Amino acid sequence: MSEEIKPRILKINVLRFDPNDKNDFPHIETFEVEEADGMTLYIALNEIREHNDNSLMFDFVCRAGICGSCSMLVDGRPTLACRTLTSKLGESITLAPLPLFKLIKDLSIYSGEWMRGLNERLETWIHDKEEELNFDKLEERMEPELADEIYELDRCVECGCCVAGCGTIQMKPDFVGAVGLNKIARYHLDPRDKRDDEEYYELIGNEDGVFGCMTLLGCEDVCPKDLPLQSKIAYLRRMMIKTALKN
């Protein structure tokens, strides 16, 4: 007779804090959850909210690694909770909110404010420089290989994991991080964007941009979309140096 394998009882330690409650202070609370087949941290957190404490706050929208809202520190590593299987973790799991972003409560952060500021600062949209919009104009043709390269970088979900995993941002809060550099590489590659190299130099040819990166490599290690962040940072460095030498 085959023996039934008992499911693991997970101990989920959550760093909890409500910055809007004057009487609250950061503290760890531990919840026990019976592990189920294929359980993700998303499912485990919902179990806790349903059965243990409905005041526990965390963010999820898509549950499929697309919206980037469920990023948190899992055993100290920034990652997407909806894509993390509990079976890949030990019995005791520690969850904390991503650092650097505004804390809403518990595991819920307001990364959208930071990302919006970054997008405004780097003007992450196509600059075609035409004075008047012409809806009859056909879009310029693009080689499929180039379209694929741009698409690869567009897969960034603005989860903030690379920001939380970068020691440079801890020291230089205005550093645009790998997420910002990835966006600039994406627009620089795009032939529809008519900004010239000098304009890109103005944007990121400085210590808050590409020359601030200390090649710590944490960004690429933790990016849940496996973006080629290092090669794009190197690409931008080469482009910046060429531009500086021209002037």
- Give residues in contact with ligand F3S (CB under 6 A): 166, 168, 177-178, 213-219, 233
69 near ligand SF4, judged by CB under 6 A: no
When the beta carbons of 72 and 169 are compared against ligand FES, the nearer one is 72
When the beta carbons of 62 and 171 are compared against ligand F3S, the nearer one is 171
To the nearest whole angstrom, how small is the minimum distance from the Cβ of residue 66 to ligand FES?
5
Q: Which stretch binds ligand SF4 (CB under 6 A): 27-35, 132-140, 166-174, 219-227?
A: 219-227
Question: Using H for helix, E for strand and C for coil, what is the string for the chain?
Answer: CCCCCCCCEEEEEEEECCCCCCCCCCEEEEEEEECCCCCEHHHHHHHHHHHCCCCCCCCCCCCCCCCCCCEEEECCEEEEHHHCEHHHCCCEEEEECCCCCEEEECCEEEHHHHHHHHHHHHCCCCCCCCCCCCCCCCCCCCCHHHHHHHHHHHCCCCCCHHHHCCHHHHHCCCCCHHHHHHHHHHHHHCCCCCCCHHHHHHHHCCCCCHHHCCCCCHHHHHCCCCCCHHHHHHHHHHHHHHHHHHC
Partner touching 67 among ligand FES, ligand SF4, ligand F3S, none, CB below 5 to 8 Å by kind:
ligand FES
Task: Specify the amino acid at residue 164.
Answer: A
Partner touching 218 among ligand SF4, ligand FES, ligand F3S, none, CB below 5 to 8 Å by kind:
ligand F3S
CA angle at 169 for the pair 167 and 172, rounded to the nearest 5°: 120
Residue 135: count other Cβ atoms within 10 Å of its Cβ.
4
157 near ligand SF4, judged by CB under 6 A: yes
- 113: Cβ contacts below 8 Å, ≥ 6 apart: 101, 102
Compose the 65-104 pattern: x for residues touching ligand FES by CB under 6 A, - for all others.
xxxxxx---------x-x----------------------
When the beta carbons of 17 and 65 are compared against ligand SF4, the nearer one is 65
Partner touching 227 among ligand SF4, ligand F3S, ligand FES, none, CB below 5 to 8 Å by kind:
ligand SF4
To the nearest whole angstrom, how small is the minimum distance from the Cβ of residue 1 to ligand F3S?
54
To the nearest whole angstrom, how small is the minimum distance from the Cβ of residue 181 to ligand SF4?
9
84 near ligand SF4, judged by CB under 6 A: no
To the nearest whole angstrom, how small is the minimum distance from the Cβ of residue 232 to ligand FES?
22
Partner touching 80 among ligand SF4, ligand FES, ligand F3S, none, CB below 5 to 8 Å by kind:
ligand FES
Instruction: At 40, list the tokens.
Output: 């993700």
Residues lying near ligand FES in the complex (CB under 6 A) are found at 60-63, 65-70, 80, 82
